Structure 1
Amino acid sequence: MTDLMQMGQAAQTAARQLSQLTAAAKNLALLKMATALEAATPEILEANAADLAAASALPAKFTDRLKLTPARVADMASGLRAVAALDDPTEKADKGWRTGAGLFIVQQRVPLGVVGMIYEARPNVTVDAAGLTLKSGNAVILRGGKEALHSNIALAKVLQQALHAAGLPAEALQVIADPSRALASQMMHLTDYIDVLIPRGGAGLIRAVVQEATVPVIETGAGNCHIYVDRAADLAMATAIVVNAKVQRPSVCNAAEKLLIHRAVAEAYLPVLAQELQRHGVALRGDAAACAIVPSMTPATAEDWDTEYNDLIMAVKVVDSEAVAIAHINAHNTKHSETIVTGDYAAGEQFLNQVDAACVYVNASTRFTDGQEFGFGAEIGISTQKLHARGPMGLSALTTTKYQIRGAGQIRE
């Protein structure tokens, strides 16, 4: 039986040790972890094959996130090396100043402590979380989905052995081997040991954690992402962006789910774009205006505008203005990633300034919302809330601040 309190105590002890490490010591461990992953690729893939066999009846959008390949293991190792190459945020001070009383105050970056994660069948999260928490000086307790249990245990074993080989506590990374909901619920209330809880997965998982947890939560993103094709858009560019954002990897949270198109270009352009999307296997659901232009579309329901499909499905709406597009996005999005395609500078700036989301683009695919693409090495998640961290969360998002005050005997009058 899993003893979460015992795991929490071990994580706290490990976190105290990690908080005192130099960047060089952490980087050495990260490099050992990367090498160990590559060396253990056959064992990792064997464990993953067991998970895939058990999940064979699940939809492709699910098994795509679950599946590991030699290339994906190599990518995880490369991610650890990329994190090792980044600056250590805990070796930096945000600012320093001297007060009127002669006190010298430094606002110093420090680790959060013990990070907890609850996530679905995404084995890469296990490695990303291990690397980012180690580099930022935190310990981590991971509770992955039951469908990825063999993969997560195999990955954690390899990484823990590498930590031990580097002279660091293996308890810096712990995986809960019992995927029961009861234990997940207990984890959400482990306030004495876990400093922050990060859920990562679909909207249902995130909502459940936010509603139940007493441990402070950083809400990460379900992605009901939109692309708005403006009347001033370069239509060839728009086609490339829409197809990439929808088709390249439809199961992930930064894939586009909705297409809004200005009425001025919809009549001539939407049939061309719809044909290209359908050629890639995308099922289209449209409002009345979109269906009138492309009769092969399925009529969209009210529920469609709020749905994250994670599949080759896209809902299409014809709008009369950019203002209408922005209002629709702000009413239905999940504050993740939104794009406008336009050649009008003012329209692009209006979109950037008025759309409420963590990442807002002009003339680029939503698929770039990713810690690695942003230069963070990896990400612990994509925060869609507004407190502490927003957008792809890298090393800095896993730290907080401490004020260090140096005096010379001052007392307050």
Structure 2
Amino acid sequence: MTRKNNTYQPLRVAIVHRLCPDERPNLDELRELCSTAGYEVVYELVQRRHPHPKYNIGPGKLAELKDAIKRLKIEKVIFENEIKTVQEYNLAKTLGVPVMSRSQLILEIFSLHASSMEAKLQIKLAELKYELSRAREKVRLAKMGEQPGFHGLGAYEADVYYNEINRRIHLLNKKLASIKKRRELFRLRREKYGTPTVSLVGYTNAGKSTLFNALASENVPVDDRLFTTLSTTIRLVRIKGRSAFLSDTVGFIKNLPPILIDAFHSTLSEILFSDLILLVADFSEPVEIIREKLAYSLETLGLIGAHSIPTLVVLNKIDLVSDVEKKVEALNLALPYVTVSALYRTNLDLLEQHVASMMGGYVVATAEIDGSDEGSAKVLSEIREKSNILEMKYNDGLIELKVETPYYLAEKLKRLGLVKSFRVEGN
């Protein structure tokens, strides 16, 4: 944002996509990313060619871009594709404005949206790792004459700058290790109670946070922008009489910088401990785009080792779709799915039915509890909290129950002396 006449105005940017001859141009997502970062896209340039060694784009397109910068008062140039450090330097020198890649833009957005201490540290770690890979080259180029994006580096020696970044990375890793240990203790406490975990995942801006709010009766911030959620939010919810932990975490996006995947690995690894994954997709988008985003989301789940966890596809935003059945047929999904509108709570009951049926580790059991025992109230409270009571009646001081309950709780109740008898159906 720039300040003009005491008001803040979006920074004017040009977006560029240099792609190989067989690639399909698509600047839609880059436009969204720019909007999320607070930039106004005023010029777009696409070129099919192999990368020019000096500028990435060809000299002719470079001249067009330079003219547009002057004519439209453009303040920054953002490339869809990755550019080398020397290309960034040469472009900044020729164009007279800072130049960045899509990866750098995503890092900037993550930095803007990070709210928790862990997310802020993870972003800083990713930024430092990105800088580390370019450090020596940036210092070398800065000594030749500083350009936008290279200011202040000419005073450093390459090794000194490189080692300083490494030192800061080491400190951040220590802080993150401490946070990870605390989160693991919290997860172990959750596992101790045997309550299943349901994780909301999916491509960014699919409506995960809106669905989380609907299922958890929460008010997690929701925005029609990319990467509103960066930190994992977990709440204890009741789904069809069953207790479950509901988790909402950072959204996926294609070509996410590997350093960001690495930095957020500990956050994403929470998904590995899920009993069920709800893969949320924006059903209002074109079928081909939905397919691509689902494929990328499944690929990301595979990268973190979560591919074997039961997964239910949630096709969200059906309020924006005219013919739901026809579109579902065109999508031809291999995975189980349910169509919903999280915003208007359409089909949420159906979704909860699917979730309840897919959550593993439950058994139907019958029990007789001595109602005269002072500990019976505590046992009944735990059963009510963690089970779905199918039948309950009183008979000569005994409380007779038929419940759908987590297997761990059935085993625990068997061991309690005040439970007169307990039988798991099928055993």
Higher strand share: 2
TM-score with structure 2 setting the length: 0.25
Task: Find the structure with the greater CA-based Rg.
Answer: 2
TM-score of the superposition, structure 1-length normalised? 0.26
